[in-house]
Chains A and B, each alone.
Chain A
Amino acid sequence: QSALTQPASVSGSPGQSITISCTGSSSDVGAYNYVSWYQLHPGKAPKLMIYDVTNRPSGVSNRFSGSKSGNTAALTISGLQAEDEADYYCSSYTSTNTPYVFGTGTEVTVL
């Protein structure tokens, strides 16, 4: 099972919106509505930002939103803030012999 494909880096200025893509296949992203997004800060526990493609856990800012079209999912961060600077990973449930696959990761920089 290959990792889902994400851009290595995305940047934006404070207040702008950015979108991170997560491209998989008909065996994972395209097959299930089980795409999640995680925020990783060094030294901290990863934080779930979006689950089941579009759902936000309690406490996550509504500046974060998720979507999916075909085999590609996306995370949009609107009103970019300095605190959003982190690594972001997507994950999906899969129909292969590995039930979960992660994306390659995207480094978000706030200019």
Chain B
Amino acid sequence: QVQLQESGPGLVKPSETLSLTCTVSGSSISSDYWGWVRQPPGKGLEWIGYIYYSGSTNYNPSLKSRVSISIDTSKNQFSLDLRSVTAADTALYYCARTAGGTFDYWGQGILVTVSS
């Protein structure tokens, strides 16, 4: 059974960097695509980006200038960095495995609030 678990701070100050890690169990991260999706309070889902185990990435153009996704195969983890955050980045952040055209396994999400 593939399981994903997000971790990181739940509160980030405006203009700082939001950093989250996703730990994968039940599957080697050295295959497939691994990505991030977020959901602002009361709003819909937004795709942030993904990384392939080889390190190649693809990001949502609306966030591309501020986002980085990295992978650590030795720890079976991948991470999200979102720079220069504002209140608009307050959201529930999910990590997910991307398989073809779908997201087949998800973490339960972590709420990150941007506030001073």
Task: Tell me the A residues contacting B by CB distance below 8 Å.
Answer: 3, 32-36, 38, 43-48, 51-52, 57, 89, 91-93, 97-105
Contact = CB atoms under 8 A, between A and B. Distances in A.
B101 interface: yes
Contacts of B98: 100
Given A89-B45, A100-B47, A101-B47, A46 B94 contact: yes
Nearest to A101: B47
Given A45-B109, A46-B94, A97-B61, A102 B46 contact: yes
B108 A52 contact: no
B44 A46 contact: no
Interface of B: 4, 37, 44-47, 58, 60-62, 94, 96, 98, 100-109
A36 B47 contact: no
Contacts of B107: 45
A63 B94 CA distance: 27
Contacts of A92: 101
A7 B26 CA distance: 36
B47 to A, nearest CB: 4
Given A91-B102, A98-B60, 8 more contacts: A36-B102, A38-B45, A38-B106, A52-B100, A89-B44, A93-B101, A100-B47, A102-B47
Contact of B108 (A36, A45, A99, A100): A45
B103 A48 contact: yes
A46 B47 contact: no
A1 B100 CA distance: 19
A46 B97 CA distance: 12
B60 to A, nearest CB: 6
